[in-house]
Amino acid sequence: MPLTRRDVLRNLSLGASGAAISPAMLPFMEQLRAHADGDVSRIPKRVVFVVKSSGLTPTALVPGALAKEHVKKGDVKKSGDNYDLPEKLVPAEKLVNASLKGRALPKTLKALEPFKDQMAIVQGLSGKMCKGGHSSWYGALGCYRTGGEHDTGQVKWATIDGELALHMPAIFPHVGLTLGGKVMDSGVPIKNSVVYPGISAIGKDRPLPFQGSPMLAYKDLFGIVASGKGAKADVELKSTLLDFMVDDIKRLDKKIGGAEKEKLGHYLEAFESLRERGRRLKGVEAQVRKAAPVVNDKYTSQAETDRLEAHFDLAAASLISGLTNVVTLRVDTLSIIYKGLGITRGVHGIGHGETAGSMTPGEARDRIRRFHVEQIARLAGKLKRIPEGDGTMLDNTLIVYMSDAAEKHHASCIQWPFVLVGGLGDELKTRGQYLQYPHYGRKGHHTIANLYTSLLHAVGKKRDTFGQMDLNLDKEMQKGPLTELAG
């Protein structure tokens, strides 16, 4: 049962369960006001994308009781370039809409048992408008074909996380956190820098940045907490500096034209948003201070798993404090080696069927997925403990666990599995369902664009389609939201 608001205020350390973040944090002031005056429409909606590289395979998401019917043995002899999975999802002729109630979740998703009635496993969607292979780059969230083997390709338009960020603006419109750079980059010193992994964008030619270092992400998001309290002079100086810079750039801006003006515009916009952010942060400083995570050694750890935990803590805290409504967590790339989980082989090797120490590739994949799912469960748990409206923050926050390259290591994008946890108020609900849509091209088939259209509808941005159409599919089946998830 959720805590009352008063409980939350009174006891800030309740149920911390070893996490670096205090879970009982105050939601954004706006939400409190909305809560107080009962105006549900003002409660913000939030979306968290957890995007994995190779390894989120369809069969791993089928509950045991349904496996007999929906999973078959693959052609295990094949190996190498197009390494096939030992198990395959049986293509569905009709929509499978089974309740998870009374069914044990598959091993990979065990940590989500407490949220079984507030989640959905979505299978059978295709994404063949995207490039297959190691990664669909911006296509995975943007529904279009772009990029090559190593290059991200052109950003044609905003990806779904960028689109949502534009529609649900917050102090930080989008927070991107990552373990790595581009999908196959190796040896990139990302731990202390911003990277553009090539999966998210806020508009044409506007890729979204991701922070590799939890410590620097903390400074970006919760810098206000680090600064001394009441240092009025500091605030004044910063404000003077930002005003001066805006003026300085505008002077330059008047003298230039064409595309170069646009470049300077980006920089000016950055200053203006920093200035605006400073103003808005002042108003919510107390809340942000309360919500800020406690920095620990995981923030600077060499172990990927530690840094990922820190990233999830940052994600939770930025949502709870109302700093952002959209987070994308790039939870691994092909170059990551999960030493913290005892896996000695990189995600790429596992994807090609290499054994990882004592683990088979299947076991290693499962171990990595379970770690991600545990983090998702931890995040969901924190959100569920915060009351909001008539329910909890989780009712208004959707966590989307997905792959950036559909169904397998060298994907063909014919089956794109998703795990959804939480919801988007009354507009999008997960009711403890296992949904498997009819296979590619069959009647009732849908694409990932339909799922993204569902998200847009839920946040009030009603439109027929999202992204590029798959020209080999009937147009109608690619239009509109997925009715099974409607509120």
Give, as ranges, the residues between 112 and 131 that touch other proteins (CB under 8 A): 128-129
**DSSP state, residue 408:** S
The single residue among 30, 185, 285, 426 that binds other proteins, judged by CB under 8 A, is: 185
Residue 68: CB minimum distance to other proteins, A: 30
Q: Does 78 bind other proteins (CB under 8 A)?
A: yes
Binding flags for other proteins, 247-276, as an x/- string (CB under 8 A): -xx--x--xxxxxxxxxx-xx-xxx-xx--
- Return the ∠ at Cα 301 (arms to 53 and 11), rounded to 5°: 100
Closest approach, Cβ 158 to other proteins, in A, equals 13
Out of 189, 228, 230, 483, name the contact with other proteins by CB under 8 A: 189
| DSSP-assigned letters across all residues of 25-91 | ----HHHHHHHHHT-GGGS--EEEEEEE-S---GGGGS-HHHHHHHEEE--TT--STT---SEEEPP
Residue closer to other proteins, measured from CB, 9 or 237: 237
Query: Between the CA atoms of 461, 467, 473 and 478, what dihedral angle is there, to the nearest 10 degrees?
Result: -10
Q: To the nearest whole angstrom, how small is the minimum distance from the Cβ of residue 79 to other proteins?
A: 8
Tell me which residues in 419-438 interact with other proteins (CB under 8 A).
none
Stretch touching other proteins by CB under 8 A, among 66-74, 75-83, 109-117, 284-292: 75-83
Looking at residues 145 to 174 of the shown chain, list those that interact with other proteins (rule: CB under 8 A). 145, 148-152, 154
In the bound state with other proteins, the residue whose beta carbon lies nearer, of 253 and 374, is 253
Comparing CB distances to other proteins, the nearer of 340 and 349 is 349
Residue 216, interface with other proteins (CB under 8 A)?
yes
DSSP E strands in 291-417: the ranges are 326-330, 387-388, 391-392, 397-403
Nearest approach, Cβ of residue 470 and other proteins (Å): 8
Out of 37, 81, 297, 476, the residue judged to bind other proteins by CB under 8 A: 81
Q: What are the two backbone dihedrals, phi and then psi, of residue 439, each rounded to the nearest 5 degrees?
A: -60, 165
Which lies closer to other proteins via its Cβ, residue 46 or residue 174? 174
Near other proteins by CB under 8 A: residue from 75, 93, 113, 236: 236
CB 24 within 8 A of CB 297: no
195 is a site residue for other proteins (CB under 8 A): yes
Comparing CB distances to other proteins, the nearer of 217 and 376 is: 217
Confirm or reject binding of residue 390 to other proteins (CB under 8 A): no
The verdict on 337 binding other proteins (CB under 8 A) reads no
Task: Calculate the alpha carbon distances from 46 to 50, 167, 184, 394, 460 in Å.
Answer: 13, 11, 30, 9, 12
Verify binding: residue 472, other proteins, rule CB under 8 A. yes
Q: Is 76 in the site for other proteins (CB under 8 A)?
A: no
43 token code pair: 């409660």
- Please enumerate in sequence order all residues whose Cβ is within 8 A of that of 354, keeping only pairs 6 or more positions apart, or say none: 345, 361
- Residue 187 C-beta: closest distance to other proteins, Å: 8
Judged by CB under 8 A, which of 7, 234, 276, 474 binds other proteins?
234
Contact (Cβ atoms closer than 8 angstroms) between residue 338 and residue 346: no
By C-beta, is 95 or 224 nearer to other proteins?
224
Q: What span, in angstroms and rounded, lies between the C-alpha atoms of 16 and 24?
A: 8
> What's 73-135 look like in SS3?
ECCCCCCCCCCCCCEEECCCCCCEEEECCCCCCCHHHHHHHHHHHHEEEEECCECCCCCCECC
408 makes contact with other proteins (CB under 8 A): no
Nearer CB in complex with other proteins: 273/296: 273
Residues 365-384, interacting with other proteins (CB under 8 A): none
Nearer to other proteins, 112 or 164 (CB): 164
Strands 326-330, 46-52: parallel, antiparallel or unpaired by DSSP?
A: parallel
Tell me the Ramachandran region of residue 286: left when phi exceeds 0, alpha when psi lies from -120 to 50, beta otherwise.
alpha
Token pair listed for 101: 């109630």
* Cα–Cα distance measured from residue 485 to residue 183, given in angstroms and rounded to the nearest whole number: 31
Which residue type does 365 have? R
Q: How far is Cα 167 from Cα 203, in angstroms, rounded to an integer?
A: 13
Judged by CB, which is closer to other proteins: 121, or 195? Answer: 195
Residues 162 and 168 sit within 8 Å (Cβ to Cβ): no
Smallest separation, CB 348 to other proteins (Å): 5
Which region among 68-76, 208-216, 386-394, 474-482 touches other proteins (by CB under 8 A)?
208-216
User: Contact 420/398 with Cβ under 8 angstroms?
Assistant: yes
Among 10, 33, 64, 82, binds other proteins (CB under 8 A): 82
Closest distance of CB 457 from other proteins, Å: 23
Out of 237, 286, 303, 486, the only residue in the binding site for other proteins (CB under 8 A) is 237
Residue 1 as a binder of other proteins (CB under 8 A): the answer is: no
329 binds other proteins (CB under 8 A): no
